Amino acid sequence: MLQQNRVSPLQPFTPFDHLACRVYRQVNSSSAQVLRRTLIRRLSSERTDDWDRLLEQLSNEESVRLKHLEDGVAQLSWTNHHPF
């Protein structure tokens, strides 16, 4: 699902990288892994285009279901255990 694809450890994190890492940590939390679902929300400090890009990437994952809820919240659920 979400993978950390860093080209070089010396490159500074982009705003998208920070967003992806935040969601990555949330997806990998113990409770989310047990339930195989979590709710994610864009923070006001995060760019809309980065959020849209992340949602698009997640929606392209075969075993991930993305459901848009109210107020910019999205529910992620997955069917199998990924080696995140």
The answer to the question of residue 5 being in a domain is no
Q: In this structure, is residue 41 part of a structural domain?
A: yes
Q: Is the pLDDT of residue 3 over 70?
A: no
**15-27 vs 48-59: helix axis angle to the nearest 10?**
50
Domain assignment of residue 74, yes or no: yes
- The answer as to whether 29 is a domain residue is yes
pLDDT at 83 over 60: no
- Supply the pLDDT for residue 49: 97
Asked if residue 63 belongs to a domain, the reply is yes
Range of the domain at 72: 15-78
Number of separate domains in the chain: 1
What digits encode the pLDDT tens for the residues 4-26? 555 566 788 999 999 999 999 99
Position 83 in a domain: no
pTM equals 0.79
Q: Is residue 55 a part of any domain in this protein?
A: yes
Is 26 contained in some domain?
yes
